[in-house]
Amino acid sequence: MSEESHFPVVNVAVTLIVHDEKILVVWNPRWGAFSLPMSKRREWHDPRVPASHHGEDWLDAGARAAAEYLGQTCEPELLLDNVDEYQQSDRDGAWKRYDFQVFRISLADQPELVAGAIAEWLTPEEVLNRRPISLTARYLVGKLQEVKKL
């Protein structure tokens, strides 16, 4: 058994909401930092039925992450899939393997965000250099720049 198998896998859909070459970063009070809209991919399993495992469609998870801030339906496009990263969770301190699928929604007009949303529009360089911005957001924006997707 490899050491990698000891780490739980967390599937996360991340959605860049882009307007005028700026990315929406949103405040996450649990992390005490701004981050990108993201959500764990939902999974269902009936423990009484071994073959009952069902995972949420990645596109649905990406749209759900964006809808939390846009307050409307959307059509995200896949930018990067299977971006793996091992990291220690800021929430519970456990090491995990995060599997990210990164989506983008490009908007012609700056949207009005849902009431109470704490958010800011930043350039990719500002995401990489400003604080407090989550390590995950900086990692993913850097990865997107590296593969020329931003």
Distance CA 18, CA 22 (A): 6
Given this model, what pLDDT does residue 5 score? Answer: 57
Whole-structure pTM value: 0.88
- Per-residue pLDDT reduced to its tens digit, 17-57: 999 999 999 999 998 999 999 999 988 777 787 777 678 99
Q: Which band of pLDDT confidence, cut at 50, 70 and 90, is reported for residue 75?
A: very high
* CA 77 to each of CA 7, 20, 24, 114, 139: distance values in angstroms, whole numbers, following the listed order: 29, 17, 16, 22, 20
Query: CA 128 to CA 137: how far, in whole Å?
Result: 8
Structural domains for the chain: 3-146 (3.90.79.10)
